[in-house]
Structure 1
Amino acid sequence: MAGFKDRIKGFSSGLKKKEKKKAKSGEKGASGSSRSGSSRLPSFSKAKKERRVYDPAVDGELATFYLPDNCEKLDMYWTDEPYSFVCIVRDMVEHTVSYHVVEPKLTRFEKLLLEEIYMMLQDVLSIKGVSDIDNMTIQEKYRIIREQTVELLDYYSELDVKSIEKIFYYVKRDYVEYERISAIMRDPHIEDIFCNGAQIPVFVYHAGYGNVNTDVVFDDDDVLDSFVMRVSQQSSRSLSKSTPILDTTMRDGSRINITFGHDISPKGSSFTIRRQKKVPLTPLDLIAWDTFSAEVMAYFWLCMENGKNILMCGGTATGKTSALNAICMFIPSSTRIVTLEDTREVQLPHVNWIPTVTRESFNRDEVGSVELEDLLKAALRQRPDYLLVGEVRSREAQTLFQAMNAGHATCSTFHAGTANEVINRFTNPPIDVPSAMFSALDVICMLHNSYEVGVEKRKVIQVAEVAGLDGTGVILKDCFLWEPQTDELINHGSAILTDIRHRQGWSEEELQDELDRRRMVLETLIDMGVRDYYDIVEWINNYYKDPMKVMVALAMHKMAQNREGSTGDA
């Protein structure tokens, strides 16, 4: 601590001498007045000072934003109150949308103090026996970083609480979080983050505004290289000139792809982050957003309960994994599930669930690597009721179809533009799944990005069932098909539902009643405003236990809602 105080005093006295020298020489600022008065440095005190808590109403806001000329504000919201917020603006001349990260502005002296704290913090933590900060919870990290930052700054008696809060924000941002992209990583509306190189604006995919550029920039190659190296080290993965490409999972569960250096990318290092939602989307979310209709979701509810094999397919960023997460909420709670992924994306509420992930080799000889195919073979020995594969890409598809044919209920995602393209890609090199094995697959669900009034929306455009084989290959029959003119999913009948009806011993009327009940449950829960993930899980589980009890509870709610409506009209 003595070393820190001595260095701080040195900074303070040195800066004061410089400021006095500038004042004597008559150096002026942009406004024409001397800058020495406005840059007066706080004095150093040997004794700590009791400070009050920061109050925005008294001390002023930490961050402020001034709308650029010829721009209109579209949206503004906090990402880390009271430290940082986001403002989304439209340029009325260029007709472009941009994303602005607003953070506290530091004075020259605050910047120097911040740099000194960066230099001293690790030593201080080590002296105090805090050696395993990386394995602490985020709340514990914030608490320790705040305590030590405030303790170091307490020796400045004239440093106000606003300055302390500003400095603390940058310490936690750079030491605990994700440096200059921290505010973006906190934004729940951001799905993807793209950095194409140093001195190029970072781009984001915003749920409400699509692809937009930000005002966040990595200053030079060294800064960007340092950032991607830090991310790779935090995930315990190797990144170097000999291994310049990395796919890994960040600490918050987000997926990141990194290219390192100029050897494979002329613009230098780059990264793409696919954000991981803390709480996955639910069936109700997808219905409310018009990605699925309630009728189609009721269809998948029956399919998942009855162990049907399903592929969620579509192009890049069409919501395949989100849809898979949502329909897997319909798997009965007692079911044993094993998930297999390259990076963790599948999130389930089930207790009897084993999540597994692949592992890269420890050296260039690929010794110690664990491929998706290895996980799949191991999973078949764990007696799963359901196998969920995050994404099928290559030869593991053959093992996946073998699992289907062996009677294991299986779900996965796959990149393809149409249902016929799914069949073509699977049955041709390099995947080469024999057509005969496709009789085990039940449903292919196609998702697509469409545009409505300039806004991108994800939609189910086709639900196709595998109807068998003929001399030309696999036969597909459309169960639901999207009609663009009416924006509806048209029901063309289902052989899968007929199979479920036979297995359950239902009549056609009983099958339709069951579909109608489940559709009504979903629609009523949306009307009730039920959105909490675990509340929805509870409703689904209660339906499995006692469907009639759930129907009565929902009917009573609708009656109460109707009475309130009629009273309001009167």
Structure 2
Amino acid sequence: MAGFKDRMKAISSGFKKNKTSSDDGGSSGSLRSVSSRLPFFSKGGNERRVYDPDVDGDLATFHLPDNCEQLEMYWTDEPYSFVCIIRDLREHNISYHVVEPKLTQFEKLLLEEIYMMLQDVLSIKGVSDIDNMDVQEKYRIIREQTLELLDYYTELDAQSIEKIFYYVKRNYVEYDRISAIMRDPYIEDIFCNGPQIPVFVHHAAYGNIDTNVVFDNDEVLDSFVMRISQQSSRSLSKSTPILDTTMRDGSRINITFGHDISPKGSSFSIRRQKKVPLTPLDLIAWGTFSSEVMAHFWLYMENGKNILMCGGTATGKTSALNAICMFIPSSTRIVTLEDTREVQLPHVNWIPTVTRESFNRDEVGSIELEDLLKSSLRQRPDYLLVGEVRGREAQILFQAMNAGHATCSTFHAGTATEVINRFTNAPIDVPSAMFSALDVICMLHNSYNMGVVKRKVIQVAEVMGLDSDGVILKDCFLWDSKIDGLANHGSAILTDIRHRRGWSEDELQDELDRRRLALETLIDMGVRDYYDIVEWINNYYKDPMKVMVPLTLHKMSQKGSSLVEDA
């Protein structure tokens, strides 16, 4: 550690001669007085005081710019970083601000030294393969070794220690300057179009908005994308400047490297992997589905109907597909097929599969969706879920439907009629006769109000068969601007389910009403945990009357309370 001590001494003596400055150009205390009271050569001995925000102050602070209003503020990595979403009142633009601890010049130099020494220390201590360790174990080791190095500063204040540790773990273990964004559960996509250009994000509530995160130059951005490629054991170079791979957390990233194919420089786009999927209750609470429509999909999924979730880009097709799949009975055998792992199911009898790129330029070893579909049909699935159909695999998907396999998938299209036209014409060319095996087309749409995006179902169409003009569609639900909601036009598919289940019309309506009431009451009771909802649905299939009792009692207590208030 002699070299480290010597460099620290040089840093200290240099700062004693220089003027105090901070990262944001303001004063954050006298660096001369700070450096003079930090002894460099005494290690250990004194036990450090744990950081306390009430005593030491906040690590990160945000000052709202003039002529702006704050829309949201929430932690992404408490107490280190948070996000503030603001609207410019003059331009009406919404922007996404990552707020992280600001380092003084002294702390910056100390961070550089710690960062340089850390690799050597880990190597000496036999910690070589940190990238493949469990996340919590990585954090533990990095914190332990960082604090040990900082222990040569026996009187370094608790706030500075935490600030330095944050940047060490951010840059060493996480994703550098986009780490806070990667932690945000509301971010679905991250886009970098080049150096010195703001990083853009697709936020679940606000759509595409720019951020205050910027890669300063080509060198910084190239280094970042190269690091990502190395972590995924894939090659990225001038000879192979395009890379599509999976990140350590399961997110999918597409990278272009250098200026040859992108004049602005290297770029990347990340499709985030949600840690906890959205549930049917989330989609109802957010206004994407009504409880009545979701009750219909509950019956569709329970009874093995073939469904396409359709819409434009970023309308929430996969999220909606994932949510309604929670209604598939727990014993059902399911196979999912995707380019990128997005579908997450609680079912034990579930086989997730993904495509694979070739290992070389000859495309030897590549596995396409078409290959996965052919393989999955030999595994006797009850349900086939395809992340997104785009080409020849659609024909195999419809063959599976006609063979009696229940299927669900997503598809890019603007209307239900467009769905049929695209499927039945080149280049997909599914024969119209096969299309009658499809049961339901659900159309999702994005609407914008003052910069806030709202996803909603605008049409649920049922496939009734064929006539001389082609595929016959019947609207079960259709958006009606007069009522600002979905108008119910009746369901032929539910009539078919009624006949198969031996229900009367009243029994079918009772079942729909019971499920709609259950969904609404669970939301009203604040039940939002993913696994609690999974358990409740499974218990409903076992004994619906039993699980409805506490919900009915809750509704009755609410009515009693309202009567007392009225009195």
TM-score (norm 1): 0.93
Distance verdict in 2 for CA 1:549–1:108, change over 3 Å: same
Alignment of 1:517-536 (within 5 A): 517-536=514-533
Q: Secondary structure at the match of 1:380?
A: helix
Distance in 2, Cα, partners of 1:301 & 1:543: 12
Alignment of 1:228-239 (within 5 A): 228-239=225-236
CA contact (8 A) 1:203 1:214 kept: yes
Q: Does 1:367 align with 2:364?
A: yes
Q: Does 1:44 align with 2:24?
A: no
What amino acid sits opposite 1:133 in the alignment? Answer: I
Q: Does 1:226 align with 2:230?
A: no
Counterpart of 2:6 in structure 1 is: 10
Q: Does 1:206 align with 2:193?
A: no
Q: Does 1:277 align with 2:274?
A: yes
Of 289, 293, 297 in structure 1, the residue corresponding to residue 290 of structure 2 is: 293
Alignment of 1:47-446 (within 5 A): 47-48=43-44, 49-446=46-443
Offset at residue 35 of structure 1 (A): 7.4
CA contact (8 A) 1:41 1:109 kept: no
CA contact (8 A) 2:11 2:109 kept: no
Of 444, 448, 459 in structure 1, the residue corresponding to residue 445 of structure 2 is: 448
Q: Secondary structure at the match of 1:392?
A: coil
Where does structure 1 lack aligned partners over 5 or more consecutive residues? Answer: 24-28
What amino acid sits opposite 1:283 in the alignment? Answer: P
Offset at residue 308 of structure 1 (A): 0.7
What amino acid sits opposite 1:210 in the alignment? Answer: G
What amino acid sits opposite 2:43 in the alignment? Answer: A
Distance in 1, Cα, partners of 2:511 & 2:76: 43
Distance verdict in 2 for CA 1:41–1:363, change over 3 Å: farther
Alignment of 1:503-518 (within 5 A): 503-518=500-515
Counterpart of 2:22 in structure 1 is: none
What amino acid sits opposite 2:537 in the alignment? Answer: I
Distance in 2, Cα, partners of 1:302 & 1:524: 18
Offset at residue 90 of structure 1 (A): 2.8
What amino acid sits opposite 1:406 in the alignment? Answer: A
Offset at residue 410 of structure 1 (A): 0.5
Distance verdict in 2 for CA 1:16–1:291, change over 3 Å: closer
CA contact (8 A) 2:70 2:86 kept: yes
Counterpart of 1:489 in structure 2 is: 486
Offset at residue 6 of structure 1 (A): 2.1
Moved more, 69-78 or 277-286: 69-78
Q: Percent identity?
A: 82
Distance verdict in 2 for CA 1:379–1:297, change over 3 Å: same
Offset at residue 164 of structure 1 (A): 1.3
What amino acid sits opposite 1:200 in the alignment? Answer: I
Offset at residue 567 of structure 1 (A): 4.5
Q: 1:160-195: CA deviations, max 9, x gaps? A: 222211110001001111110111111223222221
What amino acid sits opposite 2:379 in the alignment? Answer: Q
Distance verdict in 2 for CA 1:255–1:454, change over 3 Å: same
Distance in 2, Cα, partners of 1:231 & 1:301: 40
Distance in 2, Cα, partners of 1:251 & 1:153: 29
Moved more, 541-550 or 380-389: 541-550
What amino acid sits opposite 1:407 in the alignment? Answer: G
Q: 1:50-74: CA deviations, max 9, x gaps? A: 2111112222222222232333333
Q: Secondary structure at the match of 2:396?
A: helix
Distance verdict in 2 for CA 1:6–1:179, change over 3 Å: same
Offset at residue 411 of structure 1 (A): 0.4
What amino acid sits opposite 1:74 in the alignment? Answer: L
What amino acid sits opposite 1:440 in the alignment? Answer: A
Q: 1:194-244: CA deviations, max 9, x gaps? A: 211100111222333333221111011111111112222223333333332
Distance in 2, Cα, partners of 1:446 & 1:143: 46
CA contact (8 A) 2:5 2:41 kept: no
Distance verdict in 2 for CA 1:65–1:552, change over 3 Å: closer
What amino acid sits opposite 1:281 in the alignment? Answer: L
Distance in 2, Cα, partners of 1:73 & 1:479: 40
Q: Secondary structure at the match of 2:378?
A: coil
Q: Secondary structure at the match of 2:436?
A: helix
TM-score (norm 2): 0.94
Distance in 2, Cα, partners of 1:314 & 1:291: 13
Distance in 2, Cα, partners of 1:322 & 1:454: 21
Moved more, 11-20 or 411-420: 11-20
Distance in 2, Cα, partners of 1:22 & 1:413: 61
Q: 1:292-334: CA deviations, max 9, x gaps? A: 1111111111111111111101000000000001110000000
Q: 1:325-345: CA deviations, max 9, x gaps? A: 111000000000010111100
Distance verdict in 2 for CA 1:41–1:427, change over 3 Å: farther
Q: Does 1:460 align with 2:486?
A: no
Distance verdict in 2 for CA 1:454–1:164, change over 3 Å: closer
Distance verdict in 2 for CA 1:37–1:514, change over 3 Å: closer
CA contact (8 A) 1:311 1:411 kept: yes
Counterpart of 2:475 in structure 1 is: 478
Q: Secondary structure at the match of 2:474?
A: strand
Q: 1:230-282: CA deviations, max 9, x gaps? A: 22222333333333223333222223222222122111111222222211111
Moved more, 204-213 or 467-476: 204-213
Offset at residue 84 of structure 1 (A): 1.3
Offset at residue 381 of structure 1 (A): 0.8
Offset at residue 127 of structure 1 (A): 2.0
Distance verdict in 2 for CA 1:350–1:34, change over 3 Å: closer
Counterpart of 1:26 in structure 2 is: none
Q: Secondary structure at the match of 1:381?
A: helix
What amino acid sits opposite 2:374 in the alignment? Answer: K
Distance in 2, Cα, partners of 1:437 & 1:208: 38
Q: Secondary structure at the match of 1:224?
A: helix
